[in-house]
Amino acid sequence: MGLSATYKILKEHLVDGLLEPGGEIGIRIDQTLTQDATGTMAYLQFEAMGIPRVKTEISVSYVDHNTLQMGFENADDHRYLQTMNAQYGIHYSRAGNGICHQVHLERFGRPGATLLGSDSHTPTGGGIGMIAIGAGGLDVAVAMGGGPFYLAAPRVLNVRMTGRLRPWVSAKDVILTVLDTLTTKGNVGTVVEYTGPGIESLSVPERATITNMGAELGVTTSLFPSDAMTHDFLVRQGREKSWRELLPDRDAEYHRVIDLDLGAIEPMVALPHSPDNVKRVSDIAGMAVDQVAIGSCTNSSYRDIMTVASILRGGKVHPTVSLIVAPGSRQVLEMVSRNGALADMIAAGARIMESACGFCIGSGQAPVTEGVSLRTNNRNFKGRSGTDSAGVYLVSPETAALSALRGNLVDPTSLPAGECPAIEPPERFLVDDSMIIAPDGGAGEIFRGPNIGGPPYTEPLADSIRGVVGIKVGDKITTDHIMPAGVRLKYRSNIPRYAQFVFEGVDPSFSKLSLERKERGICTAIVGGQSYGQGSSREHAAICPMYLGVRVVIALSFERIHSGNLVNFGIVPLVFAGQGDYDAVRPDDEFEIDGLRKAVEADETVPVRIGTRSIQCTILASQRQRRILLEGGLLNFTKKGS
Ligand code: MIC
Ligand code: SF4
């Protein structure tokens, strides 16, 4: 049997392990990216490793998440990043230059390469034919130091596309359709590879919309082959030399194949509060809308923003709607401002925002109480918009722009096909990399304002732990639930401060009570349901609980990035044997685990006394991760040169 494109790239980068689905492999990482919200911790940890300069082909540090300077904290973080990056050989993309994934695709992504990013939407890079994986900041720090990235060799699920999208239907509708089929649960350890004649009509930015939202499926990453379309994009970006062809073998082996006829796809919408709560737009068309927000790393390319501008041209935003448009990069913003499209959007009443994450991460633009917000981004978790009672609906830019004009949800295919804007890519994208500062060896000192704490400190795993179940939560708990974003994000470089907000929206007393227990030498356990730790790659969702004395999380199942982060910070992820054991646990139950070190060293499972019962839990860690746990985390493990 031949190889998939996924396995071709993995094979070229394999440095450890056997390339067979399920087994643990180590791969060489060519490129890394960080953003400011995860970056400060990643770089503090990199500094702690004592390596003088990054060893990757290129490492880029983007500032795009915390760009609203409410207080000194974000500005201090950015100055730290800029001065630290200069010294250690990292490119620094300044605030205003755009969203990491969009800029990386435009300026650095390279077919056949590997990219590790401290952001769960790093798989956006799969649109240009690279294996791009999201991970915790500490994993990225290790990769910057030349260490391999470890993962389970994936199963490859092939989505075979035929046909062509109809007018008014676009890439967002494709990925929402895929989410409808595969859902956000149960896809851990899988890569989705898109092939078939249908992909030939999808441009790189459209492919990137699809791979971006693969993050919501919970897969390791998603990948398009590198073909003539990829070549075309790179030529227009003035980066033809970065192109290489990368196709799956004709007889490539896939774990599962799904056929998708692009011509049958309809405009889709993800209803509150989960990206897989998908319906056809036509099912709920006519619903009144309060806010429309267009942008984010999912839908903010030149193609998307030009589509929106041409829909808005000559019209006026409905008086009851607030329309927000945030082009994804300075390249896009400058191009639409030079060609007049920006003026069309402003004339229609759009509010133009900075090229940054902004509304997507709840940094501004919170909707009205109980409001309906149509957004083109990728996550609609409850409260993420900044308004707990609001409902966020995820749609395509076409659906969003038309609805902003009408004041209610419009099914774009109800309009004549001839009115659908046909956006051609520019002959040449406007290239100006002057806001990406190349490292100069760092003439000055590294700036450390009062918001910059130290790298987290962890201790080797104890042999027996006892304590209390501090919280019991249900299914699909996201890292946003564990560590709130929005206004709290600015504390991310300061663990003791940020730790005050662990589970803030679920149980505001969790942090205080856990810390009090820790001071009395008592551990805290977290109990969760299915898919614990969905969403963001935020390693703070492990670091801050660790700081509060959490030593185990017991759940029915875990998401990949989060369980990896738990291990990296010395917290043992344990899996219940079944629903009955989960149901029997009560918050405040006492728990006790003896012989934990020995079990982590050698056993699949470990006995846990919890409440009045004794249950058997599976230790969710590979052999290598077990060694990391015994050392008390990846930083200790790496420093020891293990
Ligand atoms: C997100 O979309 O949730 C974020 C904010 O980009 C996160 C990263 C973070 O927590 O900083 C992500 O996707 O990993
Ligand atoms: Fe930024 Fe939103 Fe993309 Fe996360 S999902 S990187 S917050 S634009």
Q: How far apart are CA 191 and CA 131, in angstroms?
A: 10
Residue 163: pLDDT band (50, 70, 90) is very high
- Give the number of the atom of ligand 1 that is nearest the alpha carbon of residue 361: 5
Q: At what angle do helices 302-312 and 341-348 cross, to 10 degrees?
A: 50
Q: How far apart are CA 318 and CA 320, in angstroms?
A: 6
- Give the number of the atom of ligand 2 that is nearest the alpha carbon of residue 296: 8
pLDDT in tens, 490-543: 999 999 999 999 999 999 999 999 999 999 999 999 999 999 999 999 999 999
Share of the chain above pLDDT 90, in %: 95
Task: Give the residue, by CA position, lying nearest to ligand 1 atom 3.
Answer: 536
Q: How far apart are CA 47 and CA 445, in angstroms?
A: 14
- How far is residue 120 from each of residues 52, 125, 258, 330, 573, measured CA to CA in Å? 27, 11, 24, 22, 20
DSSP 118-151: SSTTGGGGGGGT-EEEE--HHHHHHHHTTPPEEE
Task: Give the residue, by CA position, lying nearest to ligand 1 atom 12.
Answer: 536
End-to-end CA distance of the chain: 36
Q: How far apart are CA 393 and CA 375, in angstroms?
A: 6
Do the beta carbons of residue 413 and residue 166 sit within 8 Å?
yes
Q: Name the DSSP class of 65.
A: S
Q: Which tokens is 264 given? A: 């049958």
359 CA from centroid of ligand 2 (Å): 9
What is the per-residue pLDDT for 444?
80
493 CA from centroid of ligand 1 (Å): 15
Task: Give the residue, by CA position, lying nearest to ligand 1 atom 7.
Answer: 536
DSSP 355-389: SSSGGGGTSS-PPPTT-EEEESSS---TTTTS-TT
Do the beta carbons of residue 565 and residue 542 sit within 8 Å?
yes
Strand, coil or helix: what is 216? helix
Q: How far apart are CA 631 and CA 53, in angstroms?
A: 25
314 CA from centroid of ligand 1 (Å): 36
- What is the side-by-side strand order in the sheet with 149-152? 14-16, 24-27, 149-152
Do the beta carbons of residue 102 and residue 328 sit within 8 Å?
yes
- What is the side-by-side strand order in the sheet with 436-437? 131-134, 114-117, 31-35, 58-62, 91-93, 436-437
For residues 346-375, give the mean pLDDT: 97
For residues 422-434, give the mean pLDDT: 97
Q: Which tokens is 187 given? A: 């896809």
Residue 457: pLDDT band (50, 70, 90) is confident
Q: Which of 101, 296, 324 to mutate to test the pocket of ligand 2 (most atoms within 8 A of CB)?
A: 296
Q: Which of 297, 299, 488 to mutate to test the pocket of ligand 2 (most atoms within 8 A of CB)?
A: 297
For residues 29-55, give the mean pLDDT: 97
- How far is residue 251 from each of residues 193, 228, 381, measured CA to CA in Å? 14, 21, 40
Q: Which tokens is 159 given? A: 């989505």
What is the per-residue pLDDT for 339?
98
| Location of structure tokens 């990949």 | 560
Q: How far apart are CA 138 and CA 632, in angstroms?
A: 14
Q: How far apart are CA 634 and CA 626, in angstroms?
A: 11
Contacts of 641 (CB under 8 A, 6+ apart): none
Helix-, strand-, coil-residue percentages of the chain, each rounded to 5: 35, 20, 45
Lining ligand 2 with CB less than 6 A are: 65, 99, 119, 121, 296-297, 357, 360-361, 377-378
Q: Which ligand is nearest to the CA of 99?
A: 2
SS (H, E, C) 402-442: HHHHHCECCCHHHCCHHHCCCCCCCCCCCCCCCCEECCCCC
What type of residue sits at position 535?
A: G
Do the beta carbons of residue 6 and residue 131 sit within 8 Å?
yes
Q: Which ligand is nearest to the CA of 36?
A: 1
pLDDT of 72 > 90? The answer is yes
Task: Give the residue, by CA position, lying nearest to ligand 1 atom 9.
Answer: 538
Q: How far apart are CA 239 and CA 87, in angstroms?
A: 27
Q: Which tokens is 618 given? A: 């599976």
The residues pairing with 222 across neighbouring beta strands, listed in sequence order, are 192
Q: Which ligand is nearest to the CA of 538?
A: 1
Q: How far apart are CA 28 and CA 213, in angstroms?
A: 25
What is the per-residue pLDDT for 642?
59
Beta strand segments in 210-350, E: 221-223, 256-261, 268-270, 278-280, 291-294, 322-325
Q: Residue 557 belongs to what H/E stretch?
A: none
What is the per-residue pLDDT for 440?
87
Contacts of 43 (CB under 8 A, 6+ apart): 34, 61, 80, 81, 84, 85, 88, 90, 141
Q: Which ligand is nearest to the CA of 537?
A: 1
232 CA from centroid of ligand 1 (Å): 30
Q: Is 458 or 34 the better-scoring residue by pLDDT?
A: 34
Question: How many Cα atoms within 13 Å fall on the side-chain side of residue 88?
Answer: 29
What is the per-residue pLDDT for 104?
98
538 CA from centroid of ligand 1 (Å): 6
Share of the chain above pLDDT 70, in %: 100
Q: Which tokens is 508 given? A: 């505001």
Do the beta carbons of residue 301 and residue 373 sit within 8 Å?
no
361 CA from centroid of ligand 2 (Å): 6
Q: Name the DSSP class of 200.
A: G
189 CA from centroid of ligand 1 (Å): 20
pLDDT in tens, 298-341: 999 999 999 999 999 999 999 999 999 999 999 999 999 999 99
Do the beta carbons of residue 215 and residue 297 sit within 8 Å?
no
Q: Which ligand is nearest to the CA of 488?
A: 1
pLDDT in tens, 257-303: 999 999 999 999 999 999 999 999 999 999 999 999 999 999 999 99
Q: Which tokens is 546 given? A: 């660790």
Do the beta carbons of residue 106 and residue 329 sit within 8 Å?
yes
Other CB atoms closer than 10 Å to residue 361's CB: what's the count? 24
| Location of structure tokens 């029915």 | 556
Q: How many residues does the chain have?
A: 642
Residue 637: pLDDT band (50, 70, 90) is very high
480 CA from centroid of ligand 2 (Å): 13
Task: Give the residue, by CA position, lying nearest to ligand 1 atom 2.
Answer: 536
Q: Which of 67, 119, 379 to mutate to test the pocket of ligand 1 (most atoms within 8 A of CB)?
A: 119
357 CA from centroid of ligand 1 (Å): 9
Q: How far apart are CA 306 and CA 345, in angstroms?
A: 10
Q: Name the DSSP class of 288.
A: B
Q: What's the whole-number average pLDDT of the chain?
A: 96
Do the beta carbons of residue 504 and residue 485 sit within 8 Å?
no
Q: Which ligand is nearest to the CA of 377?
A: 2
What is the per-residue pLDDT for 185?
80
| Location of structure tokens 């856990």 | 514
Lining ligand 1 with CB less than 6 A are: 37-38, 65, 119-121, 134, 361, 379, 485, 535-538
Report all structural domains of the chain as residue ranges with CATH numbers, in order of start: 5-264 (3.30.499.10), 268-412 (3.30.499.10), 465-640 (3.20.19.10)
Task: Give the residue, by CA position, lying nearest to ligand 1 atom 10.
Answer: 538
Q: Which of 361, 385, 537 to mutate to test the pocket of ligand 2 (most atoms within 8 A of CB)?
A: 361
- What is the side-by-side strand order in the sheet with 322-325? 278-280, 268-270, 391-394, 372-375, 291-294, 322-325, 351-352
Radius of gyration of the chain (CA): 24
For residues 63-77, give the mean pLDDT: 93
Q: How far apart are CA 331 and CA 430, in angstroms?
A: 6
360 CA from centroid of ligand 2 (Å): 6
Task: Give the residue, by CA position, lying nearest to ligand 2 atom 1.
Answer: 357
99 CA from centroid of ligand 2 (Å): 8
Parallel/antiparallel/unpaired status of strands 372-375 and 291-294? parallel
101 CA from centroid of ligand 2 (Å): 8
Task: Give the residue, by CA position, lying nearest to ligand 2 atom 3.
Answer: 297
216 CA from centroid of ligand 1 (Å): 12
Q: How far apart are CA 602 and CA 605, in angstroms?
A: 9
Q: Which of 38, 104, 121, 365 to mutate to test the pocket of ligand 2 (most atoms within 8 A of CB)?
A: 121
